[in-house]
Structures are given as structure tokens and as C-alpha cells.
Amino acid sequence: MKILFVYPQYPDTFWSFKHALRIISKKASFPPLGLLTVAAMLPGEWEKKLVDMNVTTLDDKEINWADYVFISAMVVQRDSTKEVIARCKKLGAKVVAGGPLFTTGYEEFDGVDHFVLGEAEVTLPPFLEDLQKGCAKHIYTSSERPDISKTPIPLWSLINMKNYSSMNIQYSRGCPFNCEFCDIIILNGHKPRTKDKDQLLNELEALYRLGWRSGVFIVDDNFIGNKRKLKTEILPAIIRWMEKKKYPFAFSTEASINLADDDELMRLMSKAEFNTVFIGIETPNEESLVECNKFTNINRDLVASVKKIQNYGLEVQGGFIVGFDSDPVSIFKSQINFIQRSGIVTAMVGLLNAPCGTRLYQRLKKENRLLKGFSGDNTDCSLNFIPKMNYETLINGYKNILNTIYSPKQFYERIRTLLKEYKPQKRKGIPRLQFYHIRGFIGSMWFLGIREKGRRYYWKLFVSTLLKHPRSFPLSISLSVFGFHFRKIAEKYISQPIGDTPALNS
């Protein structure tokens, strides 16, 4: 059996990092972990190829080579996914589809021969069994939450690691919280399910043996969902492994703000060489936090919590949302002030949207406020519901946030604010200097220090970091490069006309 895995193309968004990747000569941020894991679940004797359309083109000859084309995608990849399916159908190739995009909305896709929905550990085995018997069904689905301690190591041999800025692995699935707008619990459930330490170390060892010596993103929806296991088993094991291997990786992950409440956990994460954590801040408006059930963020000084995490050498990246029913007109200024005071440099601010199946989706449906067309990119100025705030006020306010926080003056100010709080772990190992580091450094000076209008802010940061925070100089350059990408994307969104109100289009 010949299997072609295809990962559709991402549009140019805040999280594509397209403009930053160009500076460091990388083609994509991360490889398609889901497809690589599914590939490892297939019979070893089957021939396998993978085409990540974010790093290379998909040729007809590759589709013609395959007996089956396996496609997985996120919602934001919908348009590219439909194009791939259409090409496969035109060439007579059979398509097998799974992953988040199809699990939450397979009904909108024609031309797919077999849907393998939900978690592959449950739905893939019966599909493969039926396939080999010649009686495969159209849809395989299950609400069962599998034990992921038996999930195999991703088949890394299918990719060229040099195309990516970071590798990615998964430690857990599921989140203990129940935010109204989030579809994580639909896909992965409430109860965090984890791998054991030996399984996790085997995955790190596999990357190490293949020569990877850079960032590793642990893709969990909430890495700290099971704090006790992290502190007693997982992080101590990672620390010992990292010491033995002379610190080959730097880790990043996602967590909730209550990380700030656990000093021991932050200390262990820092010692294990975690240096970045993405946290859903959402909004400084308490009423909106109550509305969306973000209870872990309520009744706390969010800025103080962020700075405490930064004090442990963990750069906080933040997710923010505007468009809640409870948002006052002053929310736009409040978001800007919070982001600037917190020193969250990578601040992804999006408009509220209602993913299919979420509690928010169900509520808005009952209120007859739902619209068609959820793009999956909540930063592209699109809405799939009728907001309570005046539509033009909301969109103009949102654009003002983007225009402000990513302008060179405010962006470089946030880097300086972060560096005042950021206390990185002193590494015992010596990081290996790679070509893309040098290219990125030179590229930052060219694009940011010479070509950009805000170059004086770049050079001011350049000099002040060398004098005051020399250990954080690589971080400041990396963040500066991110800012170049964010400004390019923000410019695109800000220039878009507002158009008609959703109420008129509904």
C-alpha cells in the first residue's frame, strides 16, 4: 500500500510567522505532528511519503503515486484543504481525512472517501482493519478518550527537519477548564491525559538522535493540567535527561495563568530549559471573563501574575480577545494598556468567534445571532456572529489595537519592559551556533535596522540590551524579528475595508 500524507497550506496569518521565517531561511514553524503520528500507526511495510504544502509544492505525480491520500488540517487551512481534495478527485485518488477541521465539520467536504474522525488511537485501527478486508466505511467516529501512553513516536523520517524553525511533541491532551469559546474540550475532553516519562524521553531521544539541536514546542492545550505529575515525575526526568545530553533543546508550551501560583512548578520548568509559555489572558475586563467562564483569570492581578512568570525566566506570550457581550467601549484602550504594562511582546489579539460545537456556538445559535463563515483565523477582522457592540465600533477599535501594539515604538517598548522582569536560567551547556542564527541576526539589522521606518527604535533596543541585559540579547533580536512579521500582517488587516455589518449580511 502506498500512502501520501498531505498537510494543506496555512494562509498568511499572525501565527504563520511567514515574514519572520524568511529572515532566518526557514520555511515553516513546525512540522505536521498529527500526520507524522498517524504515519507511525500504519503498517511498517506500507510505503509512505509526506508533502507539507507549507514547505514545498504538491505535484500531481505524487498524488498519482499513492493508493490513498491522507489529509489532516486545522480550520484555518480549510481553503487549501478543499483545493487538495478537488485535485485528488480529478486525478482519481482516494482520500482519507481526519483531524480538527474534519472532526468539527466534516459535512461541508465533498470528495472524501473515508472520514477518520476524533482521536486516531480509537478510530484509525477499525478503519485499517476494514480497509485491508476491502470493506472500509465512509465515516469512523468515536467519543472515546484513549490512553495516549501507547501513542507511537512520530515518524520523523518523513520530513526534512532543516525546513522548520522548531520541532513539536505532545505530552498531554485535554484541559480541565471549560471556557465558553474554546473547542479544545470538544476535540480532547476535560480530563488531561498524559504520557509517562519514559515515553516522553523516548520522543526527545528520537529527535536528539536525528541531530535536532534547537527549540521543541510541547503542543499541549494546557501543559500544567496535571501539576502533580509534572512536579514529581515528568520535569525531574526531563531535567536529568537535559543535563546528560548537555542541554540540546529549549522548550516552549501552553499553560493557564494559574502557573503563576506555583513557584516550584515554575522553578522546575525553568531548570528544564522551558523559556516560553503561551497563556490565554483573553481580557482585563472581569465581566467578560465571567461571561466566557474563564474563572482561573478572575480575581487576580493579571499583570502581576505575568511578571511573576517572567521572573522565572519564562517569556509569556498572550492570547487576547475583544468582542465579548460584556465588553465596554473602553475595552480597546484597556487591552492596549494591559499589553504594554505586562511586557507581553507576542500578544495575539483576536476578535471573538464561535467555533462549531462550542458552548458559545450553542448559545449564539439559540439567540439567533450566528452567521456563516468561521474562517478559523480570529485575527482577520471576520466575525461569525452578530456582536452586541456596534459593528463598526468593534472593528475600528480592534484595528486600533493592532495598529498601536505592533507599531515600532510600542512594540520595542514592550521588549524593554519584558527584559526588566525576565530572568533566564543560566545554562550549563553552550548553545550550538547555527547558520540560521547568523542569518537571522544579519537579516534583522537589514530589515529592521536599515529598511524599516521605525529603525531608530530597533537600534535603541539593540544598544540598551547589550549594555543592560546582554544575556537576553538573542531573545531581543528574535522578538524584534517577530515584530517585523506582526507589522506586515497587521498592515494587511488594517487596510481592509470594514464593509457591511454582519446584521445586514445575515
Structural domains of the chain, with CATH: 2-140 (3.40.50.280), 165-420 (3.20.20.70)
pLDDT in tens, 492-505: 989 888 765 554 44
Residue 433 — very low, low, confident or very high, per pLDDT cuts 50/70/90? Answer: low
pLDDT of 506: 39
By CB atoms closer than 10 A (0-12, 13-18, 19+), residue 267 is middle
pLDDT in tens, 64-109: 999 999 999 999 999 999 999 999 999 999 999 999 999 989 999 9
Residue 426 — very low, low, confident or very high, per pLDDT cuts 50/70/90? Answer: confident
pLDDT in tens, 311-353: 999 999 999 999 999 999 999 999 999 999 999 999 999 999 9
For the segment 478-486, the average pLDDT, to the nearest whole number, is: 95
CA–CA gap between residue 253 and residue 247 (Å, rounded)? 17
CA–CA gap between residue 306 and residue 398 (Å, rounded)? 23
pLDDT in tens, 308-322: 999 999 999 999 999
- Looking at the whole model, is its pTM more than 0.75? yes
pLDDT of 376: 78
Residue 372 — very low, low, confident or very high, per pLDDT cuts 50/70/90? Answer: confident
pLDDT of 495: 87
Please name which of 168, 155, 128 lies closest in space to residue 251, comparing C-alpha atoms. Answer: 168
Question: For residue 379, what is the DSSP state?
Answer: T
pLDDT of 417: 97
H-type alpha helices, 91-234: 100-103, 120-133, 184-188, 197-209, 227-229
CA–CA gap between residue 33 and residue 37 (Å, rounded)? 6
pLDDT in tens, 172-201: 999 989 999 998 888 898 889 999 999 999
Please name which of 376, 378, 192 lies closest in space to residue 280, comparing C-alpha atoms. Answer: 378
Q: Does pLDDT of 232 surpass 80?
A: yes
Q: Which CA distances in Å does 29 have to 12, 352, 474, 500?
A: 13, 25, 18, 35
For the segment 243-264, the average pLDDT, to the nearest whole number, is: 97
For the segment 23-39, the average pLDDT, to the nearest whole number, is: 96
Average pLDDT, the chain: 94
Q: Does pLDDT of 425 surpass 80?
A: no
pLDDT of 504: 40
Cβ atoms of 452 and 408 closer than 8 Å: yes
% of the chain at pLDDT higher than 70: 96
pLDDT of 374: 78
CA–CA gap between residue 206 and residue 193 (Å, rounded)? 22
Q: Does pLDDT of 122 surpass 70?
A: yes
Residue type, 78: R
% of the chain at pLDDT higher than 90: 85
pLDDT of 505: 41
Q: Does pLDDT of 394 surpass 70?
A: yes
Helix %, strand %, coil % of the chain (to 5): 50, 15, 35
CA atoms within 13 A on the CB side of 383: 29
